[in-house]
Structure 1
Amino acid sequence: MGFLMSKSMDQNLKKQQEFMVLNSRLQMERQIQMQNQMRERQMAMQIAWSREFLNYYGAFFSLATLGITAGALRRKRPGLFVPLVPLSFILAYQIDLAYGSLMHRIKGEAEDIMVAEHDRLALPHGTPTFESIEKARRVQAHLFTEK
């Protein structure tokens, strides 16, 4: 009788362990999916911000170009066109960021860094561990209870 009960308990324990592993895996997959969606939303916000900024900068650049051109023609001084050079570089950068392939090139460069220069990505004091996080949490909780 004890043997059958022990065998049944072992089977229940195995089923429970399998369920826990499956549940942990599902939780991890959900967390990865959530973090990826948050990353995608942040990138979409950055691109949208760049496009909005480009609208304002484009208007500024157009007005500045008209003003500088009018002033240079009226005074007959071509040196007044000099500020348009850096302003045009900024405009080209913003166009590339908002509508061009800059984000793809940045992504490619980041992937190259992760492969070829992985040592540059190390965090100070290494990757946080459960123990280091728990220690910091205890210190913070202790400070909070003292107040």
Structure 2
Amino acid sequence: MISQAVKDEMTSLQQEAARKMVQRQMAMQVASVRERLEWFAPFLASSATFLVLGYRKTRSSVVLYPLVPMCFALCYQVDFAFGNKTNRIKNIAEDIMRNEGHLIYVPEWHYNEPPQAKLRWGPLLSRPRPHTNAHESEPERR
């Protein structure tokens, strides 16, 4: 029989492994955004250059309008890659889990006891469906 100390040690090792996996996933997300910035920043710079040249030629401020959403997108990416956006997202998620659990509720049978769910829903899912031919259900066309 396994002693309580061994069980506690196994539990703590599993929790540590889960924590490291979450950290690795977050690091991958941040790295992905940083890599995306290597493409988006030059795109924005070249687009801004051409839009400013277009404004100088036409003297119409409408030409500069695409810069607004592009700058918002750049600021969002920079905040995610180099700011504290990941911490804010984590805090929001923890608040949702703590205060609004009904939004993320998953029925117990989905993940805890699939055999019971199969017994409960199996008869409904295994009913034979009436077989219909596609030709029989469609009216004749001439």
Question: Is TM-score (shorter-chain normalized) higher than 0.5?
Answer: yes
CA distance in 2, matches of 1:28, 1:126: 24
| 1:110 corresponds to which of 93, 106, 109 | 93
Q: CA deviation at 1:35?
A: 1.1
Which stretches in structure 2 are left out of the alignment for 5+ residues? 119-142
CA distance in 1, matches of 2:73, 2:103: 29
1:93 equivalent to 2:91? Answer no
- Percentage of identical aligned residues: 31
Which residue of 2 is the match for residue 28 of structure 1?
A: 11
Q: CA deviation at 1:30?
A: 1.1
TM-score by length of 1: 0.71
Q: CA deviation at 1:133?
A: 6.5
| RMSD, matched Cα | 2.1
Show CA shifts across 1:20-60 (max 9, x none): 32222222211111111111011111101111111211110
For 1:123, what is the secondary structure of its paired residue?
Answer: coil
Which residue of 1 is the match for residue 129 of structure 2?
A: none
CA distance in 1, matches of 2:3, 2:116: 23
Which residue of 1 is the match for residue 134 of structure 2?
A: none
Which stretches in structure 1 are left out of the alignment for 5+ residues? 1-15, 137-147
Residues matched between the structures, number: 118
